[in-house]
Structure 1
Amino acid sequence: MAGAILITGANGTLAIPAVEYLFRTYPKYTAILTVRDDSDNYPTTRKLRETISRYPEVDASIRKLDLTSLSSVHDFATTLSDEIIAKRVPPLKAILCNACYWNLVGDPETTSDGYDKTFQINHISQVALVLRLLDNFALDGGRIVMFSSEAHSPGRAILEKFPPVIPEDLNLLVRPVANVDKAGAGFHRYGNSKLAITAWTYAFNRFLEKDPSLKRITAVTYNPGSLVDSRLFDRNVATSTRLLVQYIVQPLLPLARHQYPQMRLASESAADAIELALDHVHPGERYYLELLEKDESSPESRDEVKQERLWIKSLEWAKINKTNTALQNAFE
């Protein structure tokens, strides 16, 4: 077997066409597809299962993974690691941290771990998953794709009202205060989570490069574009926003792209994400990418002092220590 590809949020708008592209183009890979709800009662999981059924020759499994629960993440990582050690699943070739969440209509939501739900799903749990699984990659390495967004960079996103920021008190990221402007505050939490994962990945790569046994693993932050058909617009947004996207932005996408070239359909970014994950694009590099072009992330995300502070705090939030990750130099 060629190796395993792990995708979080595998029933998402970008993920389902990415899975289909993987099956159609690279059927020798084993696909480990994680979702919050693995039942057929959930329409997008049913759609994912239908996609898998069209490719009977592919080794694929849908796994339940609740990113709002760190115990679920750690249990999942332990189980998958045991399967790889027992050779029931091939070593990892790539992880695509695709799952994401926002709430633009409500106050901050708190998970059972005590963290903001948006920040835990988009950052903390993805960090925990990746760091737990590093020693389960193939000997020749692999690639980790962390999903960023233009929302991480102040002044770029149309929905931004409050610019994203890494605050002096990092605990404000996991316990944000409520705001009467629920849409603005909700998008601010989303932007902060994307800024955090972008900044964190720089520090992550520095630690990987210093580790002789892990330096063949590369991480990239990937902005797939503003996906106008994203399922994010189907829930936790104002009705006016959903209707604007559905009946104006989507039909006028060819025209809108002239002013906002980042606007795309998810299917357009899906193939790019797979090619990037398999190291076929910018092989061996550790870039920040806008679509598939090397670019500069926001100035704040490139601040090494903030990256290091966020790295240390993220280990604490994600419950990562010397006993449960192969990245030992992260604690020196």
Structure 2
Amino acid sequence: MGTVIITGANGSLAIPAAEFLLRENPDITAIFTVRDPSNSDANTVHLRQILARYPNVKTSIHALDLGNLAAVQRFADDIAKGITNTQYPPLKAIVCNAFYWNLVEGPDFTDDGYEKTFQVNHVAHASLVLRLLGHFGPGGRVVLFSSDAHWPGKNSLEKIPPEIPSDLERLVKPPPDPADKKAALCFQRYANSKLAITSWTYSLNRHLLKDPALSHITAVAINPGNLSDSRALRTNTPGVLKVAQRFVIQPFMPVLRLLSDPTMRTSRSAGEDVMKLALGIAHPGERGFFTHLKKEKSSPESLDEGEQEKLWAKTLDWTKVTTGSTALKI
């Protein structure tokens, strides 16, 4: 049936997504990447427990640090070689689930010299996808992760609206945060990464459609919803948000969904929808932006074709992807 890659596969959404994938598609080959594959990571142990329930499905867990672009390139090369050598069947989907944010400190920088939120969320995934485009089978799909945060005014944590600056280098090399704007800029960096992902999805689709050999691959950006049980709300976040998740968001999710955020739901519901998109169970052959499984328009800024192409060109520069490292004509 093909190979599915899921990054950040021990995350809150990814674990139920993986379980859905293995339960509903026993003929699949599933490659799961995590930053820490050792048993010292409780979340990786949980992922292994899920995989153990499906011993007849071909699965593997790989270390992948998206904060290291050389590691991304090595991983992509290994997967490409494995597909060429028939170790793995051609790709069915790449699910770019891994993410990073830091709402209390920052900006953080990777060894590549890029701001970590933007590199992990956008640059590293773009590098992975571009390097593997020549190894998809028929009807392949790329699933990228957006958020309501990409649209100004839609996320309650927003203090400064997301934007793609005229100097795109500021996305990967932002200046230090002024003390009085630290919290606001921390969230804006996350929102900017989601805006960039959404914008880049349109460029990716446009370039895929120009190439008859790759036009069968479709890319979608999904806003999976705000997840009431996500570990993200307890990771690199202020104490007030951790308390709110435990005492307000989780116990009152049905009320919050009705009164303030109709996208709010559990990680399990979101994970299953993501896999339905990835496998073409939902919206086969469709491209574009989705909230849950509903196709929608994304923010006005993300739809600016001129800005999309500027970001496309700059992303190629950041990823160091050239004609020799992707099947796409660039």
TM-score by length of 1: 0.97
Give the 3-state SS of the residue equivalent to 2:323 in structure 1. coil
Give the 3-state SS of the residue equivalent to 2:95 in structure 1. strand
The answer (yes or no) to whether the contact 1:107–1:179 under 8 Å persists in 2 is no
Give the 3-state SS of the residue equivalent to 2:106 in structure 1. coil
Query: What does the per-residue CA deviation read over 1:233-272, in whole Å, with 9 as the maximum and x for residues that have no partner?
Result: 1210011111111111110001111121011111011111
Give the 3-state SS of the residue equivalent to 1:169 in structure 2. coil
Which residue does the alignment assign to 2:184? 184
Alignment of 1:284-295 (within 5 A): 284-295=285-296
**AA at the equivalent of 2:154:** R
Query: What does the per-residue CA deviation read over 1:274-315, in whole Å, with 9 as the maximum and x for residues that have no partner?
Result: 111011211101121011101110000000010000000000
The answer (yes or no) to whether the contact 1:208–1:215 under 8 Å persists in 2 is yes
Q: Which runs of 5+ in 2 are unaligned?
A: none
**AA at the equivalent of 1:175:** K
1:157 pairs with 2:119: no
Which residue does the alignment assign to 2:129? 130
Which residue does the alignment assign to 2:216? 216
Q: How many residues align?
A: 327
Which residue does the alignment assign to 1:201? 201
Cα distance in 1 between the residues matched to 2:237 and 2:182: 10
Alignment of 1:24-103 (within 5 A): 24-103=23-102
Query: What does the per-residue CA deviation read over 1:110-142, in whole Å, with 9 as the maximum and x for residues that have no partner?
Result: 10111000000000000000000001111x131
Runs of 4+ in 1 over 2 A off after TM superposition: none
Cα distance in 2 between the residues matched to 1:285 and 1:42: 37
Cα distance in 2 between the residues matched to 1:38 and 1:173: 30
Q: CA deviation at 1:182?
A: 2.7
**AA at the equivalent of 1:194:** K
1:247 pairs with 2:247: yes
**AA at the equivalent of 2:293:** L
The answer (yes or no) to whether the contact 2:234–2:241 under 8 Å persists in 1 is no
The answer (yes or no) to whether the contact 1:35–1:45 under 8 Å persists in 2 is yes
Give the 3-state SS of the residue equivalent to 1:34 in structure 2. strand
Cα distance in 1 between the residues matched to 2:160 and 2:228: 21
**AA at the equivalent of 1:144:** V
**AA at the equivalent of 1:7:** I
Alignment of 1:17-28 (within 5 A): 17-28=16-27
Give the 3-state SS of the residue equivalent to 2:201 in structure 1. helix
Cα root mean square deviation, aligned: 0.8
Q: CA deviation at 1:228?
A: 1.6
Cα distance in 2 between the residues matched to 1:179 and 1:117: 18
Give the 3-state SS of the residue equivalent to 1:88 in structure 2. coil
Query: What does the per-residue CA deviation read over 1:135-158, in whole Å, with 9 as the maximum and x for residues that have no partner?
Result: 1111x1311101100000000001
Identity %: 51
Alignment of 1:110-125 (within 5 A): 110-125=109-124
Q: CA deviation at 1:108?
A: 0.3
Q: CA deviation at 1:179?
A: 3.1
Which residue does the alignment assign to 1:148? 146
Cα distance in 2 between the residues matched to 1:18 and 1:161: 31
Which residue does the alignment assign to 2:166? 168
Q: Which runs of 5+ in 1 are unaligned?
A: none
TM-score by length of 2: 0.98
**AA at the equivalent of 2:256:** A
Alignment of 1:305-320 (within 5 A): 305-320=306-321
Give the 3-state SS of the residue equivalent to 1:264 in structure 2. coil
